[in-house]
């Protein structure tokens, strides 16, 4: 299992009581993938730029897709740009992956548009592993979950993260989620203003 898979499992379990926004989760999943690529020494970070190493298989279909999509020419891609590009549709891709592996059971869906049901994680070693990481407060998973607003009071807390590259990625996820929240608020205000115009006599 990967960090992104563990994060998704936690999100599905948390979403049973508190729905997680698909966009926030997608950005955090992209960050989780990048952290795993850094850990596997497939990429390094030069400041906020993602520098790919030799391409190799990751024994995971979605991580392999991440490796294949890396920008391999200077000046390389920034972490922030990676999150937005790689995150597009990533929540759905990971849910589909769990379903294909028969690690989920159907339930009423509340956080992926266009789906009448959402996946709930079946009891399995994968679920127990993710639950153990979550309950123990494992720093990387906890930080990404906080960035994806899986807590009532998200805080930008990097305690326990002692790798500079990991801190860079997590900070970029927080920034991207904040930017997305601002975009949602702007659209909401514009839609409300538009509605008010049409309601005027």
What percent of the chain is predicted at pLDDT more than 90?
48
Mean pLDDT of the chain: 82
Instruction: Identify which has the larger pLDDT, 14 or 109.
Output: 14
Instruction: Identify which has the larger pLDDT, 19 or 22.
Output: 22
54-78: average pLDDT: 93
Cα(97)–Cα(3) distance, rounded to whole angstroms?
Answer: 14
> Of 176, 174, 179, nearest to 161 (Cα)?
174
Lowest mean pLDDT among 40-49, 53-62, 110-119, 180-189: 110-119
pTM of the model: 0.82
> Tokens 């789906």 — which residue?
115
Q: What is the token pair recorded at 20?
A: 């997680």
Cα(82)–Cα(199) distance, rounded to whole angstroms?
Answer: 42
Query: 3-state SS of 126-187?
Result: HHHHHHHHHHCCCHHHHHHHHHCCCCCCCCCCCCCCCCHHHHHHHHHHHHHHHHHHHHHHHH
Dmax (CA) for the chain in angstroms is 65
Residues 85-142: pLDDT tens digits? 999 999 999 988 887 775 555 554 444 444 445 556 667 788 888 888 888 889 999 8
Query: Which pLDDT belongs to residue 75?
Result: 93
Band of residue 175 on the pLDDT scale cut at 50, 70, 90: very high
138-148: average pLDDT: 90
11-17: average pLDDT: 72
């Amino acid at each position: 299992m990967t960090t992104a898979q563990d994060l998704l499992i936690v999100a599905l379990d948390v979403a049973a009581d508190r729905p997680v926004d698909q966009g926030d989760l997608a950005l955090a999943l992209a960050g989780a993938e990048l952290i795993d690529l850094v850990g596997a020494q497939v990429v390094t970070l030069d400041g906020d730029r993602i520098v790919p190493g030799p391409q190799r298989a990751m024994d995971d279909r979605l991580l392999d897709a991440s490796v294949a999509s890396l920008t391999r020419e200077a000046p390389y891609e920034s972490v922030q740009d990676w999150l937005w590009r790689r995150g597009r549709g990533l929540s759905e891709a990971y849910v589909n992956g769990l379903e294909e592996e028969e690690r989920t059971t159907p339930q009423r869906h509340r956080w992926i548009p266009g789906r009448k049901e959402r996946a709930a994680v079946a009891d399995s070693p994968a679920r127990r592993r993710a639950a153990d990481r979550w309950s123990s407060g494992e720093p990387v998973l906890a930080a990404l979950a906080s960035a994806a607003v899986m807590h009532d009071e998200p805080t930008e807390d990097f305690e326990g993260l002692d790798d500079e590259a990991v801190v860079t990625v997590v900070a970029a996820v927080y920034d991207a989620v904040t930017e997305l929240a601002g975009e949602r608020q702007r659209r909401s205000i514009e839609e409300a203003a538009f509605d008010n115009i049409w309601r005027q006599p």
